[in-house]
Amino acid sequence: MTHGPYTHVSMSIDPGQRPRIGISFYASITRARARVLESGRPYLVLESDEADVTVSTTGAGPVTADDLDNAREIFNAAARYLADCERMHSDHTQATDSAA
């Protein structure tokens, strides 16, 4: 089954709770970049044609130990995602080649 690309955005507002926004990219991310602003604050951006997600330091301030922990979690999750994508792409390619 082939699915077309899309970006899904949801918002939950419950009494007594902070609002929660979810963004799911089911499309090609057109750009992923990391930079350091002139102020010295690092940031990471994931962009698609429909939405952008930016991650930066706590309160847009100096880098904290928690920010380092978050950056490491992002790095490790991205590495796992890459490994899973490479494995599944290879499996799919081998299955397609075997069927031909």
Instruction: Examine residue 17 and state whether it is found in any structural domain, yes or no.
Output: no
- Using CA atoms, how far residue 63 sits from 40, 53, 60, 69, 75, in Å, is 9, 19, 9, 10, 16
Instruction: Examine residue 56 and state whether it is found in any structural domain, yes or no.
Output: yes
User: Whose structure tokens read 């928690």?
Assistant: 66
Domain span at residue 89 reads: 28-99
Instruction: Examine residue 20 and state whether it is found in any structural domain, yes or no.
Output: no
Number of structural domains found in the chain: 1
- pTM equals 0.79
Query: Average pLDDT for residues 75-100, to the nearest whole number?
Result: 89
Q: Render pLDDT for 29-75 as a digit per residue (tens, 0 to 9).
A: 889 999 999 999 999 999 988 889 999 999 989 999 999 999 999 99
Instruction: Examine residue 42 and state whether it is found in any structural domain, yes or no.
Output: yes
What's the confidence (pLDDT) of residue 100?
66
**How far apart, in whole angstroms, are the C-alpha atoms of residue 68 and residue 51?**
25
